[in-house]
Amino acid sequence: MNSGLVDKILGGDARAVARAISKVEDGVKGASDLMKQIFSHTGSGLVIGITGAPGAGKSSLVDKLALLYRQQGERVGIVAVDPSSPFSGGAILGDRIRMQTLGLDSGVFIRSMATRGNLGGLARSTVDAVSILDAAGYGKIIIETVGVGQDEVEVVKAADVSVVVLVPGMGDDIQAIKAGIMEIGDIFVINKADREGVNSTEKELEALLSLAPREDAWHPPIVKTVATEGKGIQELGAAIESYRDFHLRTQSGEGRRRSIARWRILELLRERLVSQTLESDLASEMLEHLAGEVASRRRDPYSAVEELMRGSQ
């Protein structure tokens, strides 16, 4: 089963990659066989996670970084995580705009991942998609996440290199610290660096970083970019390489890979257990019934879950 598809993926066939990603997006069940077969072929691509607040210009930055890698002869996979619902059209709109810059280049694979329904699994399907691109021989795989929520942070943590994108003027707000993105950045980018306030943002960022030295002794560099004009992209590429070299030299990646694996197992476990519990028609009906009871406060959610777990055994 799947062996034709697996062979095509390992051969770098973009259509097979697209089909495989749809499989892992559709749910944990269909993904299982496929992922088991390709996983041992992963590990050679460099996975770059890019995150930051909406409006920070991440898409432009990702596109320009992809172009840089293309010029270096690398095949590039881009996985954009869209936490919005499938109804918003955000992902589609974003993809369409991208097609103008990168779309006709067969060395670039672009995919937006969106939430599908209530059962979660976006983080799991995103890292699965990255594994598929990795197995297909894409040398650089960029994960772009919109927003800085819990799941998004996890996805970026699962990358080999995490890049946090800021813009001038954010630094003056305590919220920027609270967002919890400071500690996940291996590299910081101040994008839109032609705007006012870039120096004070850089100073504040440096101050924040010096407050929290890292265990691995890496000092996260700050790269200033104007992504729309392609400025600073070379420097960003160089910073990413130097972090990769540091990792290889110090073997500090060991613990990180282990905690990524642990997280990945837990995400998958969560999803499988829930889909196993709810897979029968009876259980789905029971869920709907219980939801009605909880909504009207005739029953509390905890008792409802116990009933659901009893019913599915």
CB of 237 to a second copy, least distance (A): 22
How are beta strands 108-114 and 222-224 bridged, if at all?
unpaired
Contact characters 204-233, a second copy, x per CB under 8 A = ------------------------------
Q: Does 280 bind a second copy (CB under 8 A)?
A: no
CB-based burial, 216-227: b 16+ in 10 Å, e otherwise: eebebbbbbbbb
Q: Which of residues 81-100 bind a second copy (CB under 8 A)?
A: 82-85, 87-88, 90-91, 93-94, 97
Let me know the angle formed at the C-alpha of 194 by 188 and 195, rounded to the nearest 5 degrees: 90
CB of 238 to a second copy, least distance (A): 26
Q: Which stretch binds a second copy (CB under 8 A): 4-12, 62-70, 135-143, 145-153?
A: 145-153
Q: Which of residues 7-36 bind a second copy (CB under 8 A)?
A: 31-32, 35-36
The rounded distance, in Å, linking the Cα atoms of 224 and 190 is: 5
* Closer residue to a second copy in complex, CB, 126/221: 126
DSSP helix, strand, coil percent of the chain (3-state; round to 5): 55, 15, 30
Number of residues that bind a second copy (CB under 8 A): 88
The rounded distance, in Å, linking the Cα atoms of 40 and 36 is: 8
Q: Which of residues 40-59 bind a second copy (CB under 8 A)?
A: 40, 42-43, 53-59
Secondary structure in 3-state letters for 8-20: HHHCCCHHHHHHH
Whole-Å CA distances, 67 to 17, 74, 294 = 21, 10, 52
The rounded distance, in Å, linking the Cα atoms of 27 and 163 is: 29
Is residue 140 within 8 Å of 46, Cβ to Cβ? yes
Q: Which of residues 166-195 bind a second copy (CB under 8 A)?
A: 169-170, 173-183
Q: Does 265 bind a second copy (CB under 8 A)?
A: yes
Q: Which stretch binds a second copy (CB under 8 A): 67-75, 102-110, 230-238, 264-272?
A: 264-272
Q: Does 291 bind a second copy (CB under 8 A)?
A: yes
* Closer residue to a second copy in complex, CB, 12/83: 83
Q: Does 248 bind a second copy (CB under 8 A)?
A: no
The rounded distance, in Å, linking the Cα atoms of 197 and 191 is: 12
Interface residue with a second copy, options 30, 107, 147, 230 (CB under 8 A):
147
